[in-house]
Amino acid sequence: MKLSRLALAIAVMPGLSLAAEPYVAEPLVVTSGRLAEPQAQATAATTVFERDDIERLQVSSVTELLERVPGLSVVRTGGAGSQTGVFLRGTSTAQTLVLVDGQRIAAASSGTSSLEFLAPEQIERIEVVRGARSALYGSDAIGGVIQIFTRQGHGQGLKPYARLAAGSDSTYQRSLGLSGGNERTRFHLGAALDETAGIDATRDAFGANGDDDAYRNRSLSLNLSHRLTDDLQVGFSALDQRGQVEYDFTGMQPTTDFQLSSLSGFIDGRLNERWSSRLEMGHSKDQRDTGDDSPLASIDSFFTYTTYRDSASWVNTLTLTDHQQILAGADWYEDRLHSSADFAEDSRWNRAAFVQHRYSGDTFSTELGLRHDDNQQFGSENTWNAALTLPLNSANDLILSYSEGLRAPTFNDLYYPPYCDPTFGCSESANPNLKPEKSKNYELQWRSRYSETGSLQASVYRTDIEDAIVLDENFIPQNVQTARINGFEAAVQQELFGWQGNLALALIDPRDRDSGHTLLRRAKRTLSLDLDRRFGDVSLGAGWRAVSGRYDDADNEIEMSGYGLLSFRAAWQAMPELGLSLKLDNLLDKDYAETTYSTPNGRFGYNSAGRTVLFAVTWTPHL
């Protein structure tokens, strides 16, 4: 019987786990091919983080974890909760699809996903697929797909937990949860509250905003699954994140109240020996209410928006023979926008059908897929993907692949209302004639399990993007940019002298083909290294992250310096039910900036956190 996506999400096989143990079998993944398969068989380059990795690395944000993915760089506009951009394989933030339990969470207004608001305490697993996957997922999957699975129950009986943490900048983290199950039912219920006084994101030259920018996030997750029979399973999941984040703006004390939530349910069944089917339905919400908290503010709120997305998908797996398989399905979703601004249109739908054939043989394997999207705004588009896998021997594979990407313009791009000035009149801010962005990706992968304790994944790729949307001199979006991205990336796992290491390296050259300039905010070189070892009840670890310089403007006139950050972590299982952990970030107190902002006094880099410490106590009583 094929595993369901939910069963996969609770699989206990390690992915990027760096515990000091011999290399073990790779985990199952679902995001690469929209079905459960061993990671070694997934044709797309895929990185997996398990719950064990989140706890071992002691990450405080999702983006802190994602920075360990080859070819992925992050740009922040300050401290915790600040606006964050994710650049995967040199593509823009809006060109990467983000899913939570299968549901799209990007705001339909801007097209970006608020990863900065997702609490790691509510996450069981993350899969990051690198490279275009629009032939399976449709819009937004140009750079790749990031899928986040919420926490789920394991084993038998009830398993409660509680965690308290305190650290620099008046940071406090509290979480508690209860999980459990039996042979047929599994559940998890968790709640968390994260608070920090934050840092001052901008220099004193930026108006009167010399204060720290606080952040508060309350989160709640629920995951429930029940196997009705050996061949039929149903499930439900919910994630809700809400809170407030402060930021800087001249003469004001602005804040944004946010809510990011998703709901999903599924029915997963094996209809016969050759046909498995899964039906999913979901709803997501992204809400922002931005106001001014300064004492002399005349209004409580000056901009609000809420985007809703309802969706449904039907995925079928047909096993034709022992060597051939067909994946076929249909997707539908509808976006709706409620805003304080008067958009010309506030809803649109998208429906699609897709099919993919796979052949698996001893001397080679193939994959060929096609998807047809019909969108209310831009009409019909087809996207393709193909892959050829050549086993060199039992430990080495070569994968040659071609894939296409697609990204639909956002509501802001298409329908944002004209900007009006009392002196100069009104000017357009949107372009309803925009076409979708399109890409073609060519890639050669080498995967090697060169020893019992070591493995290597390396990729060379090229991505061509057409009709990319950029703002012209009048700040109106246009389909004018063509881009070419060449890249190399490698991920190595190796145990050496009892230490387990994970190295991720990427070299990319993202270019605007018309001007020859490097695409803005893309780092050309990134490196991440983690070393971990366990000594009985004590574990020690260290991490090094290096990011090259980047340009903060399209004309390549504003250059940001590169930086390297060192971190240290330790954990002690003091008693079977009590664990202590300590993490030091930016150990060398590096002063660096990832992007800039303009003021009448000049251009400055956003501040980043200096050396920080976080101490945590975790209690897991046995019932």
* pLDDT at residue 598, as a whole number: 81
Residue 457's alpha-carbon distances to 361, 443, 452, 489, 502, in angstroms, are: 22, 13, 15, 8, 12
Name residues whose C-beta falls within 8 Å of residue 391's C-beta, 6 or more positions apart in sequence: 362, 363, 364, 397
What share of the chain has pLDDT > 90, as a percent?
A: 81
In a domain, 432, yes or no: no
| Mean pLDDT calculated for residue range 36-52 | 94
Q: Where is average pLDDT lowest: 86-95, 457-466, 488-497, 596-605?
A: 596-605
User: Could you tell me the two tokens for 317?
Assistant: 């797996």
Residue 222's alpha-carbon distances to 151, 192, 308, in angstroms, are: 8, 12, 20
In a domain, 585, yes or no: yes
In degrees, rounded to 5, the angle at the alpha carbon of residue 50 between the alpha carbons of residues 49 and 55 is 100
| Mean pLDDT calculated for residue range 7-19 | 34
The CA distance from 545 to 523, in Å, is: 13
The CA distance from 15 to 200, in Å, is: 37
User: Could you tell me the two tokens for 84?
Assistant: 């964050």
546-573 residue pLDDT tens = 999 999 999 999 999 999 999 999 999 9
| Mean pLDDT calculated for residue range 289-313 | 78
Give alpha helix (H) positions in 12-59: 51-57
In a domain, 394, yes or no: yes
pLDDT at position 505 over 80:
yes
User: Could you tell me the two tokens for 585?
Assistant: 């970030």
Residue 74 phi, psi dihedral angles, 5° rounding: -125, 140
User: What domain range is 172 assigned to?
Assistant: 5-374+383-427+440-619
* pLDDT at residue 372, as a whole number: 98
In a domain, 151, yes or no: yes
The CA distance from 396 to 318, in Å, is: 28
Mean pLDDT, rounded, of the chain: 91
457-493 residue pLDDT tens = 999 999 999 999 998 888 899 999 999 999 999 999 9
pLDDT at position 23 over 60:
no
> Between 428 and 380, whose confidence is greater?
380
The CA distance from 266 to 276, in Å, is: 13
In CATH, what number is assigned to the domain containing residue 105? 2.40.170.20
In a domain, 568, yes or no: yes
In a domain, 433, yes or no: no
In a domain, 584, yes or no: yes
pLDDT at position 45 over 70:
yes
Residues in a beta bridge with 384: 370
The terminus-to-terminus CA distance of the chain in angstroms comes to 33
157-188 residue pLDDT tens = 899 999 999 999 999 999 999 999 998 999 99
* pLDDT at residue 252, as a whole number: 66
pLDDT at position 254 over 90:
no
Residue 65 phi, psi dihedral angles, 5° rounding: -75, -40
* pLDDT at residue 20, as a whole number: 33
> Between 238 and 302, whose confidence is greater?
238
The residue count for the chain: 623
The CA distance from 172 to 40, in Å, is: 40
At 186 the three-state DSSP class reads: strand
What is the dihedral angle through the alpha carbons of 14, 20, 23, 24, rounded to the nearest 10 degrees? -40
For residues 77 and 89, the answer to whether their CB atoms sit within 8 Å is no
112-129 residue pLDDT tens = 999 999 999 999 999 999
* pLDDT at residue 514, as a whole number: 92
Name residues whose C-beta falls within 8 Å of residue 438's C-beta, 6 or more positions apart in sequence: 381, 404, 405, 406, 465, 466, 467
* pLDDT at residue 2, as a whole number: 37
**What is the domain count for the chain?**
1
* pLDDT at residue 212, as a whole number: 86
In a domain, 308, yes or no: yes
* pLDDT at residue 302, as a whole number: 72
> Between 30 and 12, whose confidence is greater?
30
Residue 409 phi, psi dihedral angles, 5° rounding: -60, 150
Name residues whose C-beta falls within 8 Å of residue 22's C-beta, 6 or more positions apart in sequence: 452, 453, 495
The label of the residue with tokens 């400055």 reads 604
